C-alpha cells in the first residue's frame, strides 16, 4: 500500500461504526448482530477514552475539535 493510498484509507474509513453496524444499531439487522455490534462499540469507546488522554496531553486543540463533534447538541 502506498503512502497516498494509506492516508486516503485512513481518512475515508469509518467513524466509530461501519455502515452495517449503523444499520444494526438502527434495528435493520438481526437482534444477535445488534447485540454483537453494541458489544464491539463499547470496546471501541474504551479505546476512544485512551485517545482522549493522548490528545489532552499532546494536542488539546484537536481534542477540542473532537469534543465539538461529539458533544454537539441536536435538536
For residue 36, the tally of other CB atoms under 10 A from its CB is: 14
What is the domain range of residue 29? 16-70
Q: Three cell numbers at 51?
A: 485517545
- Decide if 6 is inside a domain: no
Q: What is the mean pLDDT of residues 38-48?
A: 94
Residue 26, pLDDT > 80, answer yes
Tell whether 45 is covered by a domain.
yes
pLDDT single digits (tens) 61-70: 999 999 999 9
Residue bearing cell 502506498 = 2
Q: How confident is the model at residue 55 (pLDDT cuts 50, 70, 90)?
A: very high
Residue 8 lies in a domain: no
**Is residue 3 assigned to a domain?**
no
- Name 21's Cβ contacts closer than 8 Å, sequence gap at least 6: 37, 40, 41
Q: How many domains does the chain have?
A: 1
What confidence score (pLDDT) does residue 60 get? 98
Whether residue 6 is predicted with pLDDT greater than 60 in this model: the reply is no
Alpha carbons 64 and 45: distance in angstroms, whole number: 17
pLDDT tens-place string over residues 14-23 = 788 999 999 9
Cell (9 digits) for 42: 463499547
User: Would residue 22 count as lying in a domain?
Assistant: yes
Amino acid at each position: 500500500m502506498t503512502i497516498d493510498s494509506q492516508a486516503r484509507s485512513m481518512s475515508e474509513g469509518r467513524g466509530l461504526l461501519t455502515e452495517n453496524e449503523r444499520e444494526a444499531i438502527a434495528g435493520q439487522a438481526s437482534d444477535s448482530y445488534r447485540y454483537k455490534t453494541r458489544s464491539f462499540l463499547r470496546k471501541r469507546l474504551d479505546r476512544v477514552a485512551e485517545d482522549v488522554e493522548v490528545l489532552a496531553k499532546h494536542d488539546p486543540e484537536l481534542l477540542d475539535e473532537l469534543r465539538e463533534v461529539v458533544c454537539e447538541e441536536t435538536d
